[in-house]
Amino acid sequence: MKKYLLLPLLLLSTAFANGQSDSSTLVNAKWSEKEIAKGVIYKSVHINNQELFESNQYISIIEVGSNSGARLEIFPSPVLKETSKMAEEKGADAAINGSFFKFNYAHNTEDYNSVDYIRKENKRLAPNTITETNQRSTHQLGALAIHNGELYILKADELKSWENYILASEVLTTGPVLRVAGRDEKLQKASFYTTRHPRTAVAKKSDGTIMLVTIDGRAKESAGVSLSELQSILRWLGGEYIINLDGGGSTTMYVKGFSDNGVVNHPTDNKVFDNKGERKVANTVLLYLRK
């Protein structure tokens, strides 16, 4: 009997050791950091040699301190447009892509191309698209909400059409939520959760610091992450609340004045590991620095 008990114990200890190694690799990595305004820091790291989750990863983060005076905005575009273009046209200083949308470049502008709920200036612009079985999609299990200038990460409850009752002037449903009040959420085993992809996320620390995050993928230089790996990364970096946004080819981070087009990560639509492969998207999270 003792011999049979040793195997699960060994597997458990190995998994624990690997988790510790991955967290140490991430936290102790040589991050490149630049303060783009008082209390706002852009940081990135390229982990090579298969050192994080036995893979290469390129991670970009904009940390927005709670006392920075910076302002976040949820911005839906009437037509599909690149994240960088939306930021430039709105005069934003930084941006990440937002939630999920109808992938139709030709003519569809109904509900701002969104499949998820959008509220702007207290007015609903798009509803959640609910399936025939009346089930919420994975990307409708949480929301970003901005109320009196503060950004919140919210988890859906059992109340039908719960998003209608959120007290906030700006709301964007997305998901899934990965962490709430310092506790990891249980994740599904569906392919969307377990397969590595480029990911975009927002996290909030206990001191109110907001992290806007992209992790590149679909390239030998950066494999991308599963949602469990994304959950771990942002937990290790201090996220008390974590929510997933649209990823894959949509994953984009823009910082005004950086690189030749402001895109600081490596969008994948051109299948080259550079900053040229932006996808047109339906909405963004914009950041305005205190002037």
In the prediction, which pLDDT does 15 show? 47
In this prediction, residue 11 has a pLDDT band, given cuts at 50, 70 and 90, of very low
Helix, strand or coil, per DSSP, at residue 50: strand
What are the pLDDT digits (tens) for 115-163?
A: 999 999 999 999 988 765 567 788 899 999 999 999 999 999 878 789 9
* 267, 269, 273, 276 alpha-carbon torsion, rounded to 10°: -70
Kindly list the domain boundaries of the chain, sorted by start residue: 31-288
pTM: 0.92
Name residue, tokens 């009437």.
78
Q: In terms of Cα–Cα distance, which of 138, 145, 56 is closest to 100?
A: 138
Distance CA 34, CA 28 (A): 17
Percent of the chain with pLDDT over 90: 81
Calculate Rg over the CA atoms of the chain: 19
In the prediction, which pLDDT does 161 show? 87
- The H-assigned helical ranges of the chain are 2-27, 83-90, 191-194, 227-236
Strands 199-205 and 177-180: unpaired
CB 217 within 8 A of CB 197: yes
| β strands within the chain, DSSP E | 32-37, 40-52, 55-64, 71-82, 94-97, 118-120, 123-126, 142-147, 150-155, 170-174, 177-180, 183-184, 199-205, 210-215, 239-244, 253-255, 280-288
What are the pLDDT digits (tens) for 243-284?
A: 999 999 999 999 999 988 999 999 999 999 999 999 999 999
What are the pLDDT digits (tens) for 77-86?
A: 999 999 999 9
Query: Does residue 198 carry a pLDDT above 70?
Result: yes
Name residue, tokens 């892509």.
97
Which residues make beta-bridge pairs with 203? Answer: 211, 242
In this prediction, residue 10 has a pLDDT band, given cuts at 50, 70 and 90, of very low
- Across the range 191-215, mean pLDDT stands at 98
In this prediction, residue 103 has a pLDDT band, given cuts at 50, 70 and 90, of confident
Distance CA 235, CA 209 (A): 13
Q: Write out the two tokens for 277.
A: 């492969």
